[in-house]
Amino acid sequence: MTFWMAIVLGVVQGVAEFLPISSSGHLSLLQYFFGMEEPDALYNILLHFATLIAVCVVYRQDIAEMVVEFFRGLAALSSRRRERGGPPEARRLVLLLVLGTLPLFLVLPMEGFVEGLGANPVFVSVMLMVTGCVLFLSDRYGGGRKTARTATVKDVLLVGLAQGMATIPGLSRSGTTISAGMALGFDRNFAVRFSFLLSLPAVLGATLLKVVKVAGAGGVDTELLPMYLTGMFIAGVVGYFSISLVKLLADKGKFGSFAYYCWIVGAVALIGSFFYSPAV
């Protein structure tokens, strides 16, 4: 992997990880049509970690409040105190995020099979167009009033199930989870906030698993660290602005605008896959 390729991958990760256009789908198509090499395991981990940091920066206040309320909740539980009016919103949000993450465990046994689907450009192209349909419908059926105080266990489990389905290459994680939240009656801002906060345990868990695999495979080439750090910085900065853009468009009811992009890219890639054969 060259230095410039590391920069390109950093930009792709920062944009596609948060914009509802599927980072896995784009990476698969870039590898197929342009021969872009797959980033090594460590660099891939670092890119995801950089986007994790971007989410933490954007939602730092929410995360700080959840950490405080988590420990307050433990203290209240140990003392068996009951709070009037129910738990604070931040404490309830912690519980909702935990519940929303549970459906991911259903996907773990199929991880290898799901990753293998990314090698089929026809499948990935079709899934990109499916993502476009999901986004298109989100603006028309979204716009409820549910927040962290009123969202139900069933709601967050369904959003979590949508996140599990979005591990399929070509389906956007952010697009699928935000659209699912809107369809279930989430307030637009809460749907976006819950989706990105829900990515934290998912990305962190996946990152830790991959770190264990990489550590077992051998050491780190220190000569590549400058390239890795540059890609991380780019992915983090681009990711920060990508989150801000999603929040803005969702608030204006224009989240579905990304549908046209997904349809175009998916259709072009689908047609191209029938006429293009990568060099062996």
In this predicted model, what pLDDT tens digit does every residue of 9-21 receive, in sequence order? 899 889 988 999 9
CA distances to 124, 160, 175, 184 from 145, in Å: 34, 19, 19, 10
pLDDT of res. 82:
65
* SS3 state of residue 86: coil
Report H helices in the chain.
3-16, 23-34, 41-58, 60-79, 89-101, 111-116, 121-141, 153-165, 173-183, 188-217, 225-251, 258-275
Give the amino acid at 92. R
The segments of the chain whose pLDDT lies below 50 read 280
The confidence score (pLDDT) of residue 205 equals 82
The two tokens of residue 249 are 């468009």
State residue 186's pLDDT score: 95
Predicted local confidence at residue 279, as pLDDT:
53
Distance (Å, rounded) from C-alpha 104 to C-alpha 67?
Answer: 22
Question: Alpha-carbon distance 16 to 26, whole Å?
Answer: 8
Is residue 130 within 8 Å of residue 176, measured between CB atoms?
no
Secondary structure of residue 146 in the 3-state scheme: strand
- pTM of this prediction exceeds 0.85: yes
Q: Using only C-alpha atoms, what is the Rg of the chain?
A: 19
Reported as a single tens digit per residue, the pLDDT across 222-248 is 777 888 899 999 999 999 999 999 999
Bridge partners of 146, per DSSP, are 186
15 token code pair: 């944009």
Rounded to whole angstroms, the Cα distance separating 211 from 216 reads 8
Whole-number pLDDT of residue 215:
66
